[in-house]
Structure 1
């Protein structure tokens, strides 16, 4: 790769200016996800899609998962600034489309388009952090980013609940418009990064094969658990066969590509593979809670949308606190193994508590469970990305970041699809039984089950409300048992992580795209803890796997 301009000067002031753009974009992305979780029961009820509600989450995750490796690789090849601005613009425009949707499937399509932008915001933010900060100090910066995520994640449920209760669910997406415009303007003026010219052929066949494999895998999981198709459907197994063919084609293409979108040599790196596998398991566990807990709180516990938003605050507060603390700990000590294993163990304890919840579980108990889960998640999530970035050459840090997140999102998408299907099928069966028991015909019971929402529930007789609340509780609580084996595997992987020194050099400096401004005494300008100018001999442009990790 060749840069189009002289190396930029990296100082503390420039690092924090770049951070302003990253914080604005992360606020936009995380705000949207938590607003939608709170508003989902109302959205699916009014648009008539209760039995298909998992598609709202699956569409976003599937789209964002497909584009993650693309953003990661293209960022390494072409630079990240313009891609970052494109991601913000796409996310904002898709939010407008979602707000204006009048049918369920139109809404799902725009959620998918949001995912195309949201995937870029997540990957590029993490990769840019690696560009401007060294690994041994990156935890502190990621802790600040985690705090911003926590603030927006707390604001999301509150706003979502307010919009549903006092305005309409459409405002959960209208709110993204001014925030998106502000994030875009901050990016234009604050995000100054080098651009590059591609010197190798872009791996278009690899992109196509990876996209086909990802989409067919998720559709296989979704259709397999869908009542209209099921595991004995030829269409379901057709997508399963397509996944195997696309995955095999992808491996073959990548083994021969001049510049593969995901270099297979990454998977010779044990530390990278372990951290990526932990991320996959965490994706399954995290989104099983984030995707379905607001529904449980609104329906099974009888709370309003606003109240369910308030009840999600402890989880995000716990995550915010431990994210900052663990980032500072890793930066100070360089020890990531013990903190990562502890985080997964805390998550397991919280999931075990979730399995005991019923419609009669006190609200304060649910709050405590959520706080424990968030604390565990904050201990491990950001550190796993840091481990993966530290395990590879600076020339492929974007690719490594996107690959790790890709597999985490695959886990999240599969977990949402499979567990969402289990939840939806159990819920539909129980709701139909409730309405049939009240004297409704089969068609009437099916229609009522597909359009129930919190406002409709509040208008029903007490006996009927109790029965519906019980149906939600019975459908959701057992789903958490399926999460535990994946988290147990994550613990084993975390405690066997190899403890290696964290890099002292920022990615831009390592690649020769930036230099540190050093005064006469040789210390970095502004006292900037942004890395050293010394090159790491164990990491070369040709080999993405450091010699110390092979």
Structure 2
């Protein structure tokens, strides 16, 4: 379908109805991808009970995270080299195919294979959505759209556990996977019809297979070490030490390969940009703290405050509301004023306050208090959630937007993985030590088998000891996050506020290499619309 008059400009910007359909397709792609992270959580016991293989349960989540993280930088680079329209359509098709395999699974092995396949597509949906919207909207106006995308991301995270619980109880757990397929199909159709086909950046692209393989090996070793350390193997075991050593060795080899690659999968020039490094590190730290918080709070509320699973899941809603408000508002503020640095500083500062407040929680705290604390935490995180991505995309020439967005999201995802795994290990080890020292040996209670149902059957004295143990194991960890997040306040204060570009095909904010005093640096990427091209 061709664009109507006034809906497409020579710079590539899209307006009117066509932009609305494109944006709707991108929102659907983001919605189904982020929904997949949470919708299956409440159904895991039912799925494992139906298919068997409880020892493989962690791989239902780990497989998706691992594959999607590995392919993120690859999607970003390929989308810069080839047409992003077809790349995201392939990603949506792979995602839907993986969900179909999950829905038809007859055993855990088939389910995990389906999760890997859906992760192969899902790993590109988020970064491609952000890259594509930058293809049709200039950075100066981009903040408003990113704010809405952040709101959709937050909404899907809240709806995930609720929808998952409903599907398990009414049509059955398989509909958790079937449900997202028609939504992915609608997104594919909208983007296929309305998204403009753009000329590939390179006529003869050389795929960096060696770099992609080494990056994948490094990430795989890190994810496995984080998932298995302290659980399947001791942290000082040769298996975990070997995985960390493999991660470091692969990362070093990756850097050496990227320095010589014609089209590096993650260009090292990104790391010469001050704002990119500051934003990437800040995102990694925030996601470590954020995932370490949201992953274990529902269990905390069930054990410590004796809430039902449904109510415990809804306790995160105030945090999601806070994120929704500020992620949406910050995007519109950036679009209207062109100012963003103050929001980045405010985001980290308010988040640090939120984590400090969370560290003051007590056993059987007043019901409303954690709701207020979580709202403050979400209010802070939301301020910077979309602005960080906007800053990264504004820093580089449009020809590098895909790679830059993918690299930024890659570090964000690494933070999420480390937060969920490392904080989980610390929480479990602290809980085990606390209960081993306080529970009477005659109670014969295993930490690994403590559930809300078991708590109801225990005497009041044992319940009090376990509740206090959970509180002592988790709540102090929130205080550990305060100096980490406070460090990001300083980082955000060091961000240079460059003007947001007003055109799609901009040339970035500065040279990627420092120019010589005697001549202009010929390695500086030129804007695609430069007359010298």
TM-score of the superposed pair, with normalisation by structure 1: 0.82
Q: Distance in 1 between matches of 2:342 and 2:191?
A: 36
Contact 2:74–2:212 at 8 Å: present in 1 too? yes
The residue number in structure 2 matching 1:484 is 482
Contact 2:134–2:504 at 8 Å: present in 1 too? yes
Instruction: Quote the offset at 1:237 in angstroms.
Output: 1.7
Instruction: Quote the offset at 1:359 in angstroms.
Output: 3.9
CA RMSD of aligned residues (A): 3.5
The residue number in structure 1 matching 2:217 is 212
Q: Distance in 2 between matches of 1:63 and 1:9?
A: 33
Q: Distance in 1 between matches of 2:462 and 2:118?
A: 37
Gap change, CA 1:45 and 1:285, over 3 Å in 2 = farther
Gap change, CA 1:56 and 1:479, over 3 Å in 2 = farther
Aligned to 1:29, which of 15, 28, 33?
33
Gap change, CA 1:191 and 1:295, over 3 Å in 2 = farther
Q: Distance in 2 between matches of 1:432 and 1:91?
A: 44
SS in structure 1 opposite 2:296? helix
1:140 equivalent to 2:144? Answer yes
Contact 1:139–1:330 at 8 Å: present in 2 too? yes
Q: Distance in 1 between matches of 2:370 and 2:153?
A: 22
The residue number in structure 2 matching 1:517 is none
Contact 1:274–1:493 at 8 Å: present in 2 too? yes
The residue number in structure 2 matching 1:506 is 504
Q: Distance in 2 between matches of 1:243 and 1:42?
A: 35
Q: Distance in 2 between matches of 1:156 and 1:45?
A: 21
Q: Distance in 1 between matches of 2:281 and 2:263?
A: 24
SS in structure 2 opposite 1:423? helix
Instruction: Quote the offset at 1:477 in angstroms.
Output: 2.0
Aligned to 2:388, which of 384, 387, 391?
384
Q: More displaced, 300-309 or 485-494?
A: 300-309
SS in structure 1 opposite 2:486? helix
Gap change, CA 1:181 and 1:339, over 3 Å in 2 = same
Q: Distance in 1 between matches of 2:522 and 2:108?
A: 48
SS in structure 2 opposite 1:422? helix
Gap change, CA 1:545 and 1:504, over 3 Å in 2 = same
Q: More displaced, 231-240 or 181-190?
A: 181-190
Contact 1:217–1:240 at 8 Å: present in 2 too? yes
Instruction: Quote the offset at 1:463 in angstroms.
Output: 5.5
Aligned to 2:160, which of 156, 161, 170?
156
1:271 equivalent to 2:275? Answer yes
Contact 2:13–2:137 at 8 Å: present in 1 too? no
After superposition, residues 147-546 of structure 1 pair within 5 angstroms as: 147-163=151-167, 171-194=175-198, 196=200, 198-226=203-231, 228-427=232-431, 437=441, 439-440=443-444, 445-446=445-446, 449-455=447-453, 457-458=455-456, 465-507=463-505, 510=506, 543=524
Contact 1:71–1:402 at 8 Å: present in 2 too? yes
Spell out, residue by residue over 1:284-307, the C-alpha distance to the aligned partner (whole angstroms, 9 max, x if none).
122112322233233333222322
Spell out, residue by residue over 1:526-550, the C-alpha distance to the aligned partner (whole angstroms, 9 max, x if none).
xxxxxxxxx999799964599xxxx
Instruction: Quote the offset at 1:125 in angstroms.
Output: 0.6
Q: More displaced, 470-479 or 95-104?
A: 95-104
SS in structure 2 opposite 1:84? helix
Gap change, CA 1:353 and 1:128, over 3 Å in 2 = same
Contact 2:511–2:524 at 8 Å: present in 1 too? no
Gap change, CA 1:275 and 1:171, over 3 Å in 2 = same
Instruction: Quote the offset at 1:43 in angstroms.
Output: 6.7
Contact 2:48–2:57 at 8 Å: present in 1 too? yes
Alignment gaps of 5+ in structure 2: 1-9, 513-520, 528-533
The alignment of Structure 1 onto Structure 2 pairs a total of residues equal to 509
Instruction: Quote the offset at 1:128 in angstroms.
Output: 0.7
Contact 1:162–1:306 at 8 Å: present in 2 too? no
Q: Distance in 2 between matches of 1:89 and 1:456?
A: 43
Q: More displaced, 340-349 or 79-88?
A: 79-88
Q: Distance in 2 between matches of 1:260 and 1:189?
A: 31
SS in structure 2 opposite 1:18? helix
Instruction: Quote the offset at 1:470 in angstroms.
Output: 4.1
Q: Distance in 1 between matches of 2:304 and 2:50?
A: 19
Instruction: Quote the offset at 1:52 in angstroms.
Output: 8.6
SS in structure 1 opposite 2:204? coil
Q: Distance in 2 between matches of 1:21 and 1:453?
A: 41
Aligned to 1:91, which of 88, 95, 98?
95
Gap change, CA 1:9 and 1:467, over 3 Å in 2 = closer
Alignment gaps of 5+ in structure 1: 1-5, 512-534
Instruction: Quote the offset at 1:193 in angstroms.
Output: 3.5
Spell out, residue by residue over 1:256-307, the C-alpha distance to the aligned partner (whole angstroms, 9 max, x if none).
0111111111211112211111111122122112322233233333222322
Contact 2:218–2:247 at 8 Å: present in 1 too? yes
Quick one: higher RCO (CA 8 Å, sep 6+), 1 or 2? 1
Spell out, residue by residue over 1:420-473, the C-alpha distance to the aligned partner (whole angstroms, 9 max, x if none).
222233445667789974544xxxx55xx5455445555666665555444433
Contact 1:392–1:545 at 8 Å: present in 2 too? no
Spell out, residue by residue over 1:8-39, the C-alpha distance to the aligned partner (whole angstroms, 9 max, x if none).
77333322221011011111122232334555
TM-score of the superposed pair, with normalisation by structure 2: 0.84
